[in-house]
Amino acid sequence: MVEDRFSTDYGIARELYNNQDKTLVFEKVDGYDFRVIGNLCCSRDSLYRALSTGKEEYNEKVARAVENPVTPRIVKNARCFEGEVKGLHELPILRHFRGDGGKYITSGVVVAKDPEHGRNASVHRLMVMGENRLAIRLVERHLYEYHRRAEEGGEPLEIAIAIGVHPAVLYAAGYSPPRGYDELSLANALLDGKLELARCRTVDVEVPAESEIVIEGRILPGERVDEGPFVDITGTYDIVREQPVVEVTGIAHRRNAYYHALLPGGREHKVFMGLPIENKIYREVKKVVDVRNVCLTEGGCNWLHGAVAIFKKRAKDGRRAIHSAIEAHPSMKHVIVVDDDIDVFDPVRVEFALATRFQATKDAIVFPGVKGSSLDPSADKNAITAKLGLDATKPLDRLKDFESAEI
């Protein structure tokens, strides 16, 4: 609990930045009636707790949920519609870093529907452009396609932005399953069928009924504005791009709602962006090799670098894992594959594998000129980059040379 009064202009962001391992509740916010909560889920362990699982069962539990999504039921009289406000200026939206293009909503789960592909939920940064206008960053994935399809028919795309949702919902929205897969049904499976949805009031979209705040609106056709700069997961400035505009049609909230502030580049951002993708990689690699664990490493911003531990049985398993991991996560720039005796969450052990089990002339695969992450400042403007896979597994025909000494 933070007793002092803090400002949404840098003040709260600075506190969140300086206390990344602690959940902070700001009871008093300069100029706003809403309370702010941040650093809600800022470690692997806190996410495991939120998903009612532990380190060992986590990957398999999520894999089961992904393969068995459960459509959430829709309820009436949802708590997220207990109160309403007139405009974005009434919400304590933060300005985070010097040089950011404006105030940004960073924890919003954006729900939309497409006549063919159904419901989609994904997380997008939203820059405040006015009392009832937001710029929305649409990376070329599902919501981008939904908007493009609506725009081609000259129509706006109705959306709802849910802020202050259960961690399972943010996790599912970050999972990036194939198009047509409803992320809210994944969240519901992760919550053992306990997720309830509510119909919005001004748009034909459903949101989690327990959301703290719901912003309803439509992404307009044919309109673009400059969005950015914005400090993203790498802690560096993402560039200004022309992005679509959301016209807000209504804002509702629970009684005494909390505004969830998610610090860009902070630990919580990395948990919700990186951890779902680790599981996605785990599931993909498992199709070709027996996999023990996957880590998107901290030094790689929990996004650009991965370590994958496998139970190696065939000579080419290391290479198979490299190809599969890069395919599962197109933003992966460097991936190191290690044996199952290496803890992928221990960077010293991963480097040890590289030092003692890897030969650059035969164990490296370079992928030149491929599409990577738009968040890597060293990639070109179209996110074209070079990738590298490092096979640091022991050669099966020389295992004796790699025995660890014991006393």
Tokens of 359: 């030969």
Q: Name residues whose C-beta falls within 8 Å of residue 280's C-beta, 6 or more positions apart in sequence.
A: 175, 176, 177, 328, 329
Strand, helix or coil for residue 219: strand
Q: Choose between 117 and 199: whose C-beta lies nearer to Mn ion.
A: 117
Instruction: Specify the pairing of strand 241-253 against strand 213-227.
Output: antiparallel
DSSP 9: B
Total of residues contacting Mn ion (CB under 5 A): 2
Listed ranges 24-32, 68-76, 139-147, 364-372: which one lies at the site for Mn ion (CB under 5 A): 139-147
In the numeric block, the tokens 């290479």 are attached to 319
Q: Choose between 124 and 286: whose C-beta lies nearer to Mn ion.
A: 124
Burial class of residue 331 in the structure, from the number of CB atoms within 10 Å of its CB (0-12 exposed, 13-18 middle, 19+ buried): buried
Neighbours of 180 (CB within 10 A): 12
Query: Of these residues, 114, 182, 232, 376, which one is catalytic?
Result: 232
Footprint of Mn ion on 53-112 (CB under 5 A): none
Listed ranges 84-92, 134-142, 316-324, 341-349: which one lies at the site for Mn ion (CB under 5 A): 134-142
Phi-psi region of 165 (alpha: psi -120 to 50; beta: other; left: phi over 0): beta
Listed ranges 31-39, 48-56, 140-148, 149-157: which one lies at the site for Mn ion (CB under 5 A): 140-148
Q: Please state the closest distance from residue 29 (CB atom) to Mn ion, in A.
A: 33
Tokens of 164: 């202050």
Which amino acid, residue 160?
A: A
Q: Choose between 266 and 276: whose C-beta lies nearer to Mn ion.
A: 276
Neighbours of 353 (CB within 10 A): 24
Strand, helix or coil for residue 114: strand
Footprint of Mn ion on 109-128 (CB under 5 A): 120
Q: Please state the closest distance from residue 263 (CB atom) to Mn ion, in A.
A: 24
Q: Please state the closest distance from residue 335 (CB atom) to Mn ion, in A.
A: 24
- Give the whole-angstrom CA distance, residue 295 versus residue 345: 6
Q: Is residue 267 close enough to count as binding Mn ion by CB under 5 A?
A: no
Q: Is 232 a catalytic residue?
A: yes
Length of the chain: 407
Tokens of 67: 């393969």
Q: Is residue 142 close enough to count as binding Mn ion by CB under 5 A?
A: yes
Q: Choose between 142 and 292: whose C-beta lies nearer to Mn ion.
A: 142
Q: Please state the closest distance from residue 150 (CB atom) to Mn ion, in A.
A: 16
Q: Please state the closest distance from residue 127 (CB atom) to Mn ion, in A.
A: 22
Neighbours of 160 (CB within 10 A): 30
Q: Please state the closest distance from residue 40 (CB atom) to Mn ion, in A.
A: 23
Chain residue whose CB lies nearest Mn ion: 142
Listed ranges 9-17, 135-143, 195-203, 360-368: which one lies at the site for Mn ion (CB under 5 A): 135-143
Q: Choose between 174 and 244: whose C-beta lies nearer to Mn ion.
A: 174
Q: Choose between 34 and 175: whose C-beta lies nearer to Mn ion.
A: 175
Q: Is residue 147 close enough to count as binding Mn ion by CB under 5 A?
A: no
Binding site for Mn ion (CB under 5 A): 120, 142
Positions marked active-site: 232
